[in-house]
Amino acid sequence: MKMTGAQILVETLIEQGVDTVFGFPGGMVVDIYDKLYDKQDKIKHILTAHEEGAVHAADGYARSTGKTGVVIATSGPGATNLVTGIATAYLDSIPLVAITGNVRNSMIGRDSFQEIDITGITLPITKHNFFVHKVSKLADVVRKAFEIAQSGRPGPVLIDIPKDVQEAVFDFRKKPVERPASLPCCDAKDVEKAVQLIKESKRPYIYFGGGAVRTELGEDIVKLADKLDAVIGCSMMGLSEIPSDSPRFLGMQGMHGRYASSVALAKADLIIALGVRFSDRATGKTEKFSLSAAKIHVDCDRAEIGKNVPVDLGVCCDIKDFVKCLTKAAPQRKNTEWIKKVEQLRKREADAYEGLPFLPRDAINIISDTVKPDTRLVTDVGQHQCWTAQFFRFRKKRTWITSGGLGTMGFGLGAAIGSYMGTGKRSVLITGDGSFGMCLNELATAVTYNVPVTIVIFNNHALGMVRQWQKIFFDGRYSNTSLDRKTDFVKLAQAFGAKGYKAADKESFEEVFKKAYKVNGPVIIDLSVKTDSLVLPMLKPGGTFNNLILRREDISDAEK
């Protein structure tokens, strides 16, 4: 059937199963918006306040559903406003298709109004990107983009479509959606080698990340751990894949990870890493990272194997298949000493928190106790993010939405909106006064679409994470981290058409949160947090997990 490029784009999106897109219109996508207008019954378009909000929303949609998020923006500033969000998705391997308009082919390269080389700009932060020269290529480019975004290690793909291509007419024929090629099954030899390493080990630790979330590996990991008598920990991206109260699970490991999880990883003699990439935030100084441990690394991306940490066995295959084969082939192990040792670490961790006054941790506990298991926990970036990662008790998969790799402040509100659009589930956004200030304009979107999101602002009147570094490593010289703002978040909420509350202690927070959580729409809770609250444990830069800072008292006098 003869159609314009804009129509072909919309039809191909429908063909690919897209039901929701996020975006913001503009001159060079006006044709696309015109065709979306005709298909409102098939594709719901969520209009955000800013393109950055739209791309974070598409990302949040993808994270909470596993489907590909789609965002549309116009040329020039519309396209550049996507950059942070595309990079966020790239660093966390989130499937995303970003569609931008551009000036006509004949105007390209002339510095025309709102012309920008967005494929050039996004080259290092996309899995691949396309500039569509001809309408004849458009449908297949869109199909390819979805395939690339979802296949292997997922990631963002950008399609830049000049206006004349959107207007040009071509024949469109629907095609069946091609499923991305599956990864190869595991090799028996690799399994055999892994079994050998397991037999030689007495202190096994299974370490997983975002790749395990992607492949829904949780139950398989627990089964493997039972067979190996191993403990389990994860990177920030792995959270929520297995329930936090799973007996062998020690929680997030890393720079601000749980004490027992981080120290156990450092003391292990065998690390089985599944869909995790040994980021510097997880390993500390890579040269000193768990030197005594044998390492098995299984990932869908061959380039990750040996990239940051040398491994004894690197396997690039279908992770689930490998874990299942390994569980079958491995002998039943008993590591009583190891499990006992880990219990001691857990005890030390618990003791460190005893008897402290009302802390962010208590607020997270109240939230944990109140919310339904399928509530999405969304965060921005900073201290509040680490506290949530440490203490929230996850019960369901894909309920943790955070910017792990890029660490994008301002990610949360957009992501919460996208997450709700994808799942229809309520979310809690835990944020800080610094992060929230970055993209709070999306409160307008949350109100417009009546998104049930409880926004808890951990308000310490500071950029807490940087301040923490300044306190410990820069002699308390708080350069530009004190937020002496007069923002009244309750009034701000009201101005946007949302509800706002304040809380300052355990009792008031518990009462307010329970109330706010029931509201069918966005609510802000401005929770006062002490300015000098610290995220602990903390790994010193260049340090190892054997000298973690666990308690405030552990900060040496010189560093106080």
Instruction: Give yes or no: 113 in active site.
Output: yes
Instruction: Give yes or no: 322 in active site.
Output: no
Q: Which residues pair with 72 in a beta bridge?
A: 23, 99
Contact between 291 and other proteins per CB under 8 A: no
Pick the stretch among 115-123, 431-439, 457-465, 538-546 that binds other proteins (CB under 8 A).
Answer: 115-123
Whether 47 and 445 have beta carbons less than 8 Å apart is answered as yes
| Smaller CB separation from other proteins, 123 or 185 | 123
Q: Are strands 400-401 and 523-528 parallel, antiparallel or unpaired?
A: unpaired
Alpha-carbon gap, residue 387 to 464, rounded angstroms: 12
- Which tokens is 132 given? 């569509």
Residues 6+ apart with CB under 8 A from 366: 506, 509, 510, 513
Residue position matching structure tokens 């062998």 = 248
Given the residues 28, 255, 465, 538, the one annotated as active site: 465
Residues 6+ apart with CB under 8 A from 110: none
Q: Which helix (H) or strand (E) holds 377?
A: strand 376-379
Pick the stretch among 302-310, 391-399, 449-457, 496-504 that binds other proteins (CB under 8 A).
Answer: 302-310
Q: Please pick, from the candidates 226, 269, 301, 362, the single residue that binds other proteins as defined by CB under 8 A.
A: 301
Cα separations in angstroms, 492 against 66, 454, 524 = 33, 15, 9
Pick the stretch among 126-134, 386-394, 423-431, 451-459 that binds other proteins (CB under 8 A).
Answer: 126-134
Given the residues 113, 216, 219, 334, the one annotated as active site: 113
Q: Please pick, from the candidates 104, 128, 223, 281, the single residue that binds other proteins as defined by CB under 8 A.
A: 128
Residue position matching structure tokens 């949160």 = 513
Pick the stretch among 59-67, 269-277, 304-312, 322-330 that binds other proteins (CB under 8 A).
Answer: 304-312
Contact between 532 and other proteins per CB under 8 A: no
Q: Is 448 helix (H, G, I), strand (E, B) or coil?
A: helix
Pick the stretch among 2-10, 123-131, 385-393, 526-534 that binds other proteins (CB under 8 A).
Answer: 123-131
Instruction: Give yes or no: 163 in active site.
Output: yes
Cα of first residue to Cα of last residue in the chain, in angstroms, is 72
Contact between 143 and other proteins per CB under 8 A: no
Q: Please pick, from the candidates 50, 63, 127, 277, the single residue that binds other proteins as defined by CB under 8 A.
A: 127
Q: Which residues of 534-550 are buried (b: 16+ CB within 10 A; e: fewer)?
A: bbbbbbbeeebbeebbb
| Smaller CB separation from other proteins, 315 or 524 | 315
Contact between 355 and other proteins per CB under 8 A: no
The nearest distance, CB 178 to other proteins, in angstroms, is 15
Contact between 307 and other proteins per CB under 8 A: yes
Q: How many CB atoms lie within 10 A of CB 43?
A: 17
Given the residues 114, 193, 307, 559, the one annotated as active site: 114
Q: Please pick, from the candidates 90, 131, 458, 509, the single residue that binds other proteins as defined by CB under 8 A.
A: 131
The nearest distance, CB 141 to other proteins, in angstroms, is 12
The nearest distance, CB 123 to other proteins, in angstroms, is 5
The dihedral built from the CA positions of residue 329, 335, 341 and 346, taken in this order, carries a sign that is: positive
Contact between 356 and other proteins per CB under 8 A: no
| Smaller CB separation from other proteins, 300 or 456 | 300
Residues 6+ apart with CB under 8 A from 414: 48, 52, 53, 54, 55, 56, 57, 59, 60, 85, 439, 442, 445
Contact between 124 and other proteins per CB under 8 A: yes
Q: Please pick, from the candidates 77, 109, 120, 476, the single residue that binds other proteins as defined by CB under 8 A.
A: 120
Residue position matching structure tokens 């790994």 = 539
Bond preceding residue 25 cis, omega within 30 of 0: no
Instruction: Give yes or no: 465 in active site.
Output: yes
The nearest distance, CB 103 to other proteins, in angstroms, is 18
| Smaller CB separation from other proteins, 127 or 324 | 127
The nearest distance, CB 306 to other proteins, in angstroms, is 6
- Which tokens is 549 given? 């800072």
Residues near other proteins (CB under 8 A) are: 119-120, 123-124, 127-128, 131, 148, 301-303, 305-307, 310
Any idea which residues carry the catalytic annotation? 51, 113-114, 163, 465
